[in-house]
Amino acid sequence: MNERTFEILNLDHLVLRTRDLPRLRDFYLELGCSIERDRRADLGMIQLRIGASMLDIVDVHGPIGQSESKGGATDDNLDHGNLDHRNLDHYAVRIEPYDEVAILAFCEARAIPAEAPSFPLLGADGYGPAVYITDPDGNRLELKGPPNPEHGPG
């Protein structure tokens, strides 16, 4: 069986889905978060800085919230009493070293569902590679690689 080839460094970002983006945004701003990027107009999302990490708040009725991979926008998907319907889309941890082939082999050897997007994703440190995995309860975890300077800071 393949050995683990990476170490978790920190939480990269967290994505929350909501029916009331302004209310949730205001709550986190009150806690001390700051607005990193407002993407409500094009994506239905606002990105907040939460310490060294980021918190993305996604409107379930916006373009990202309507995405099938994000659970769609039905109210049932926000039923907090039903574990099959979650408010959390995924969370991300920054790992090092990042070796996509080794990570996918590690997951395959343990029957852990894994997928690697074919394009760099934005995280707290900028755009970089990632592999999505799913835990036994169905929560999605993004194993985030280092930022790629050629893609800019985000």
Q: For 99-140, what is each residue's pLDDT tens digit?
A: 999 999 999 999 999 999 999 999 998 999 999 999 888 889
- Does residue 19 sit within a domain? yes
- Does residue 147 sit within a domain? yes
Domain ranges, residue 139: 90-153
What CATH number does the domain containing 126 carry? 3.10.180.10
Indicate whether 120 and 95 sit together in one domain: yes
Indicate whether 63 and 95 sit together in one domain: no
Domain count, the chain: 2
- Does residue 1 sit within a domain? yes
The answer to pTM > 0.75 is no
CA-to-CA separations, 63 to 4, 85, 97, 110, 144, in angstroms, rounded: 36, 19, 33, 34, 23
- Does residue 83 sit within a domain? no
Phi, psi of 24 (to 5 degrees): -70, -40
Is 70 exceeded by the pLDDT of residue 72? no
Task: Decide if 81 contacts 38 (C-beta within 8 A).
Answer: no
The CA-based angle 68-72-76, given to 5 degrees, is 140
Q: Please report the pLDDT score of residue 73 as a whole number.
A: 44
Is 80 exceeded by the pLDDT of residue 153? no
Indicate whether 2 and 36 sit together in one domain: yes
Residue that is last in its domain, among 14, 42, 73 = 73
Nearest residue to 141 (alpha-carbon basis) of 1, 3, 6, 2: 6
Is 90 exceeded by the pLDDT of residue 47? yes
